[in-house]
A = this chain, B = another copy of it.
């Protein structure tokens, strides 16, 4: 009961005792007693009288003002750190470059430094909890990464416990795409979706799966690992060691590799000029070349979109989602990529499954992972009370 009250207040905002009693199907007396206990725990508070609904005025209940969560979302080449309130609304957030291949200790030290700086700026001594997301498979229950292909040195490292110890608060570790999917559900375009996919196209490619409003992690916690679906019999070698994986064709590293090859081979004047100027190319440079009308750059985006669309079409036939949200750095390549992904996905899936299927870009950008990570720990902080309800 207490958990259900807290989750309602988190997701819907302040509610009167009468509303809570109606929503949860219990008496106002029960609500009053539960809210009193939550106040003692420092989790909820009464905040005056609700506007009258005709009858007697009812006391308005809200989450405690001073609940703060830390959300950390680590990608291959950058991390976002943020602090939220009890409703998982972002108070402050920051995105900085970082190289995940440096290993867990320096990367986590950087994340902690940023988190502490944000907490200081907000005048907070200790958060109520922290969520952290990394770009690889995770054993959610043990709080450790498991054989993550693009995270050398992280396999089995106790990320969750290290973070909890340093911050002096409970922590939770998940895969980045799972956190991003939750972020989209909490505050993004997936707010009203029960069954949807969040597809991240960054250095790697992965997918968060939400079934009936809940994250689906698979039996080993590696559901959604679509970057390693094979799209060609042969093809470039992937970070995972196999060949022909989607990620090895359409991920950010693959695009940077192909852009560099096109520049060096003289197939793309625009990319060649950028390479000359900078010494190396990233996926983002392709969109600069596209803006200059470079045909080869357009082709690179089309190829990546087509192969991503092929995989999404298979997933649509299998999963029949109500929404697909596309996010991650490569979406900076913009609408040319989205158009190609949509075209292939709509054309190749069963009409029944695509009739009402929106495929949209994330509007939260870097914040989705921060919000999702903070939301994960909010559920954990609010949920230990579940047993007593």
A: residues with CB less than 8 A from B are: 137, 146-147, 194-195, 207, 209, 211-212, 216-226, 228-230, 240, 242, 310-311, 313-315, 317-322, 348-353, 355-356
Chain B residues, CB < 8 A from A207 = 318
The 7 listed contacts between A and B (C-beta, < 8 Å) are: A194-B219, A195-B218, A207-B318, A220-B356, A225-B350, A229-B318, A315-B318
Question: Within the complex, which residue of B223, B311, B320 is in contact with A219, where a contact is CB–CB below 8 Å?
Answer: B320
Chain B residues, CB < 8 A from A218 = 195, 319-321, 353
**Bound CA span A77–B146, Å:** 46
**Bound CA span A147–B354, Å:** 13
Closest 9 CB pairs of A and B: A218-B320, A219-B322, A223-B320, A229-B314, A222-B352, A225-B317, A222-B320, A229-B317, A222-B353
Chain B residues, CB < 8 A from A230 = 310, 313-314, 348
In the complex formed, the residue of B with least CB distance to A214 is B212
Chain B residues, CB < 8 A from A242 = 348
Q: A195-B219, A216-B211 are in contact. Are A352 and B137 (CB under 8 A)?
A: yes
- Asked whether B320 lies within 8 Å of A318 as measured between CB atoms, the reply is no
**Bound CA span A223–B352, Å:** 10
**Bound CA span A83–B283, Å:** 61
- Asked whether B314 lies within 8 Å of A220 as measured between CB atoms, the reply is no
Q: A195-B218, A313-B230 are in contact. Are A225 and B320 (CB under 8 A)?
A: yes
CB distance from A221 to the nearest CB of B (A): 7
CB distance from A159 to the nearest CB of B (A): 17
- Asked whether B353 lies within 8 Å of A320 as measured between CB atoms, the reply is no
**Bound CA span A230–B315, Å:** 11
Question: Within the complex, which residue of B146, B217, B318 is in contact with A225, where a contact is CB–CB below 8 Å?
Answer: B318
